[in-house]
């Protein structure tokens, strides 16, 4: 695992994460990591580069479908029929297009992933939200649960017929349990929701719990979205797929997805490498390292700044933090950028508050230490 202790130098490479902040600012915001892309994905791209020297439009790649089917069998013991799977050109664009499967607005919980919240709106579709129930334990650990009464009220009042789910949840890091999903399925059936589940973080698991694919428990009116972009650190490569068990809904999803265009040949190659068995051992090493990062970050935040409130991150490499107990004027993200020289993602963009931030701990551990030193000093000014 030693290679995760060494970062790739990304400043000066046209990196959105590193080249949009001043040189004295440590960026820990946008959800990519500071290591190389997964070796199996890189190898697959290099193999394609060494092949036919034409990068024109591509049709569906049956080898990729076979790789995806085998991936579902290895990870979940599921036999997924080939016809259930549709390739799509990216999850966030799909969230926008699929919001138009119905006439009414889309419904989502808050806080939530900024890309999920903004996708329907950017496509001209109305989005309505229902606040998750937040609970604070004696040791300031946050937990979040669905508020089904409020969700039902909003769905009926606003006429929402699509529910956008994020599992594991970004930014709160929650891995939804079987009971959570069964209760959500009951809600969806009662209120006639099509559930579109963004599961891009499904392989980034930091606890003993297992991710449960939405479609495996709730196949009716369900669309489950997957990509190797986060786990393999290639989020800018547009490759994703949807699993849609219902044939009639699948036809509508396919029509919407075609408006996004196809997936390029190098992107297809990267996806095949990322979902292949050759990538499994590397993913396990990555999760082990991230688990250590999560434990270190969580314990140090509680030790250094004991009034902070934060959830125990179960999935993703992202930590949600509430600074409201500290006397910081205005927006915490702006304050920490100015005084700590650490750039985090602001809470407001996730439909949180200006006292929330999200920390990306997908980096070598020494960078977390550096960020913690800076944040502690800035808060204790």
C-alpha distance from residue 73 to each of 2, 80, 180, 276, 351 (Å): 30, 8, 23, 12, 36
CA distance 203 to 115: 19
pLDDT at 3: 84
pLDDT in tens, 4-29: 999 899 999 999 999 999 999 999 99
What does the block give as tokens for 337?
Answer: 């950028």
Q: Per-residue pLDDT for 293 more than 60?
A: yes
- Is the backbone peptide bond immediately before 171 cis, with ω within 30 degrees of 0? yes
Distances (CA, A) of 249 to 207, 341, 361: 34, 48, 38
**Cα–Cα distance between 242 and 245 in angstroms, integer?**
10
Terminus-to-terminus CA distance in the chain, angstroms?
Answer: 37
pLDDT for 149 equals 98
Residue carrying structure tokens 């930091």: 206
Task: Identify the CATH number of the domain defined by range 44-277.
Answer: 3.40.640.10
pLDDT digits (tens, 9 = 90+) for 79-124: 999 999 999 999 999 999 999 999 999 999 999 999 999 999 988 9
Q: Where are the domains of the chain?
A: 2-38+280-379, 44-277
Res. 2: pLDDT tops 60: no
What pLDDT, on a 0 to 100 scale, did the predictor assign at position 122? 87
The per-residue pLDDT for 123 is 87
Which residues does residue 27 pair with via DSSP β-bridges, in sequence order?
Answer: 343
| CATH number, span 2-38+280-379 | 3.90.1150.10
- The H helix count followed by the E strand count for the chain is 12, 15
- Strands (E) in the chain, as ranges, are 26-27, 85-88, 106-110, 127-131, 133-136, 141-145, 162-166, 194-198, 222-226, 240-243, 310-311, 318-322, 342-343, 345-346, 356-360
| Beta strand 141-145 pairing with 310-311 | parallel
Report the pLDDT value the prediction gives residue 381, as an integer from 0 to 100. 78
Phi/psi at 239 (5° precision): -150, 130
Specify the 3-state DSSP secondary structure of 99. helix
User: Tokens 């490498």 sit at which residue?
Assistant: 273
State the virtual CA torsion across 8, 9, 14, 16 in degrees, nearest 10: 70
Q: How confident is the model at residue 261 (pLDDT cuts 50, 70, 90)?
A: confident
The predicted pLDDT at position 49 comes to 96
pLDDT at res. 167: 96
Rounded to whole angstroms, the Cα distance separating 208 from 37 reads 25
Average pLDDT over residues 269-276: 98
**What is residue 159's predicted lDDT score, i.e. its pLDDT?**
97
Mean pLDDT computed over every residue of the chain: 96
Q: What share of the chain has pLDDT > 90, as a percent?
A: 94
Query: Could you tell me the pLDDT band of residue 136, with boundaries at 50, 70 and 90?
Result: very high
**What pLDDT, on a 0 to 100 scale, did the predictor assign at position 14?**
96
Stated pTM of the model = 0.97
At 259, the pLDDT band (50, 70, 90 cuts) reads confident
Phi, psi at residue 371, to the nearest 5°? Answer: -65, -40
Q: What pLDDT, in 10s, does the model give residues 311-321?
A: 999 999 999 99
């Amino acid at each position: 695992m030693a290679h995760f202790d060494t970062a790739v130098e990304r400043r000066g490479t046209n990196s959105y994460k590193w080249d949009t902040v001043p040189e004295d600012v440590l960026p820990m915001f946008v959800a990519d990591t500071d290591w190389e892309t997964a070796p199996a994905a890189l190898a697959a791209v290099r193999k394609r580069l060494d092949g036919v020297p034409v990068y024109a439009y591509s049709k569906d790649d049956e080898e990729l479908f076979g790789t995806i089917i085998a991936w579902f069998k290895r990870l979940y013991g599921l036999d997924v029929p080939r016809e259930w799977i549709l390739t799509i050109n990216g999850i966030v664009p799909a969230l926008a297009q699929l919001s138009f499967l119905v006439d009414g607005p889309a419904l989502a919980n808050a806080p939530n992933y900024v890309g999920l919240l903004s996708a329907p709106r950017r496509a001209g579709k109305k989005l309505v939200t229902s606040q998750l129930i937040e609970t604070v334990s004696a040791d300031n650990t946050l937990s979040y649960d669905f508020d089904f009464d409020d969700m039902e009220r909003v769905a009926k009042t606003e006429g929402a017929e699509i529910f956008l789910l994020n599992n594991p949840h970004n930014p709160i890091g929650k891995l939804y349990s079987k009971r959570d999903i069964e209760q959500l399925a009951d809600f969806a059936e009662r209120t006639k929701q099509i559930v579109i589940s963004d599961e891009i973080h499904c392989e980034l698991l930091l606890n003993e719990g297992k991710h449960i694919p939405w479609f495996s428990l709730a196949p009716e009116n369900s669309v489950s979205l997957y990509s190797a972009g986060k786990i393999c650190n290639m989020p800018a490569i547009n490759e994703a797929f949807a699993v849609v068990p219902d044939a009639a809904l699948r036809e509508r999803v396919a029509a919407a997805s075609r408006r996004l265009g196809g997936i390029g040949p190098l992107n297809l190659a990267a996806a095949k490498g990322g979902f292949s068995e050759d990538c499994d051992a590397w993913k396990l090493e990555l999760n082990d390292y991230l688990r250590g990062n999560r434990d270190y970050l969580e314990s140090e935040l509680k030790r250094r700044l004991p009034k902070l409130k934060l959830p125990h991150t179960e999935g993703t490499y992202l930590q949600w933090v509430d600074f409201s107990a500290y006397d910081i004027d205005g927006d915490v993200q702006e304050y920490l950028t100015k005084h700590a020289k650490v750039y985090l993602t602001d809470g407001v963009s996730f439909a949180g508050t200006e006292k929330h931030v999200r920390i990306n701990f997908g980096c070598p551990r020494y960078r977390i230490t550096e960020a913690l030193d800076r944040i502690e000093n800035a808060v204790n000014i």
